[in-house]
Amino acid sequence: MIGLVSIMLLCFLLTLIMAGPNLVAMAQGLIPSIPKGSDYLIITLTASSFSIVGAFYQSYLVREKEWKKGAKEITLAENRTGIITLGLLSSLVMSCASAVLYHNNISVDNASDLGKALEPLFGQFTSTLFMIGLFAASFSSMIGNATIGGVILSDTIFGHSKLSYWSVRSMIILVIIIGATVALIFGSLPLQLIIFAQGITILIVPLVAIVLVIFSSTQLITEELRNSVYMKVMGVLGILVLSGMSIYSIKYLFF
């Protein structure tokens, strides 16, 4: 997986160099702003890119790996590496899309159109290579998200969370079957359905964040691992932001 991500980073970096982006415009893009009509897309992006449910699953992952308190530094190092890599990759993807798609007024109507962002590097093979990469990314995300949902569902219903239990595996399979069924029913890539699903996800995110902050701040946790005052304040601020997004999503979807 590290090797594949490294190849992705290299491909987007080379594409960006070949595309010759406007560096001044890129620097201006670092100033936070909300383009007209994109407010709801930003909310749905938050639901997928800042996975609070994924953070909640970390507690199950720690137990699955049987990590002890002494593994704190290892987990922090892994998390930092993952966050930096994801941030760098996301930045390169957006920069390539801006330099190639936006600069050349290329509209994106389907998944294959997204591949045109890599055209400066791969030429006529762009669509094929991009779809292979998209399949790999989708497959890995499907397995990861299905595992999260299946483990939490199994723990809720059967009280089992270890991946070695068949009750856990059956719930993971069930989640995959449901997702595959929806995909077959809608046929072609259901972009609007994906956006709607992410909009629904943001509705429960504040509740998950509240549970995380409470559990990680309780006196039952050793002082070394317990949230500091700074982390508690940041957690509350994050919950307020997520709650605002959730309220906006309810208004957008149902009113």
pLDDT in tens, 51-101: 788 888 988 988 888 888 778 788 888 888 888 888 888 888 888 888 888
Structure tokens at 44: 């749905």
Q: How far is CA 162 from CA 212, 216, 229, in A?
A: 20, 22, 33
Structure tokens at 135: 């399949």
In whole angstroms, give the CA distance from residue 100 to residue 21.
Answer: 8
CB atoms within 10 A of CB 57: 20
| Residue span of the structural domain in which 175 resides | 2-31+38-254
The gap from C-alpha 128 to its chain's centroid, in whole angstroms, comes to: 24
What is residue 237's predicted lDDT score, i.e. its pLDDT?
95
Counted domains in the chain: 1
Q: How would residue 190 be classed by pLDDT, with cut points 50, 70 and 90?
A: low
Q: Are 166 and 206 in contact (CB under 8 A)?
A: no
pLDDT, average across residues 217-242? 89
Tell me the per-residue pLDDT of 104-127, one tens digit each, with 9 for 90 and over.
888 877 767 778 888 888 888 888
Q: How far is CA 250 from CA 42, 49, 201, 247, in A?
A: 15, 20, 11, 5
What is residue 198's predicted lDDT score, i.e. its pLDDT?
82
Q: What is Dmax (Cα atoms) for the chain?
A: 60
What is residue 210's predicted lDDT score, i.e. its pLDDT?
94
What is residue 241's predicted lDDT score, i.e. its pLDDT?
92
Q: Which residue has the higher pLDDT, 34 or 171?
A: 171
Query: Residue 191 pLDDT more than 80?
Result: no
Report pTM: 0.78
In whole angstroms, give the CA distance from residue 152 to residue 154.
Answer: 5
What is residue 38's predicted lDDT score, i.e. its pLDDT?
85
Query: Residue 189 pLDDT more than 80?
Result: no
Q: How would residue 188 be classed by pLDDT, with cut points 50, 70 and 90?
A: low
Tell me the per-residue pLDDT of 23-49, one tens digit each, with 9 for 90 and over.
888 888 888 888 888 888 888 888 777
Query: Residue 3 pLDDT more than 90?
Result: no
Q: Which residue has the higher pLDDT, 158 or 54?
A: 158
Structure tokens at 123: 């030429």
